[in-house]
Chain A
């Protein structure tokens, strides 16, 4: 079956530091890959996505590249801000009609950014 593995947190950084959150996956075929962000007490928001190999998703200074050869989709940001403090989830969606759009999530990585 499908699975997503994220680097364990929590991750604590100073403002303006470089961020990497690793994500690797196991799936058959060519899944779509997503990063969601959850701010305290809120639901999840889509941060970025990539639907095929070598695609780069980007939003709000965050980037992730779909690497099929390493089955990875690592999240990066060059300079984090305090407002980036949140929980980040990597997820995949299988291709094909029988998946019904179901997502498989990683366990989430807590990011705390200090001033």
Chain B
């Protein structure tokens, strides 16, 4: 069966520090991968998606970047965090036209 992992589960970082969040998927090949952010009291915003290794599409301009160095690995990064980067970050995967499956999320607090 397929599983999706995210780490860390929680993270507290100072403003201006770098960020690296990792997402890995097991049990499937060539998935579409997605990063979402859920800000406090708000819905989900799609940040990035990837349809293959090295292929990243950005949905909104922001302080973040994404990379996909391996088929089932998706990384969200920042060189310098802002207060507004705080939120709950969710990774998801899907294949073809099936539904998306979400990871457990990472709660990021920028102080």
Contacts and interface: CB of A to CB of B under 8 A. Distances in A.
Interface of A: 32, 34, 36, 41-46, 49, 89, 93, 100-108
Interface of B: 6, 32, 34, 42-44, 46, 49, 51, 57, 59, 90, 92, 94, 96-105, 107
A84 B49 CA distance: 30
User: Which applies to chain A's interface (DSSP): helix, strand, loop or mixed?
Assistant: strand
Given A42-B105, A46-B99, A102 B43 contact: no
A43 B42 contact: no
Nearest to A6: B43
29 contacts: A32-B97, A36-B102, A41-B107, A42-B104, A43-B6, A43-B90, A43-B104, A43-B105, A44-B44, A44-B102, A45-B102, A46-B99, A46-B101, A49-B99, A89-B43, A93-B97, A100-B32, A100-B57, A101-B32, A101-B34, A101-B97, A102-B34, A102-B49, A102-B59, A103-B46, A104-B46, A105-B43, A108-B43, A108-B44
A34 to B, nearest CB: 6
B99 A102 contact: no
Contacts of B6: 43
A104 B34 CA distance: 12
Contacts of A41: 107
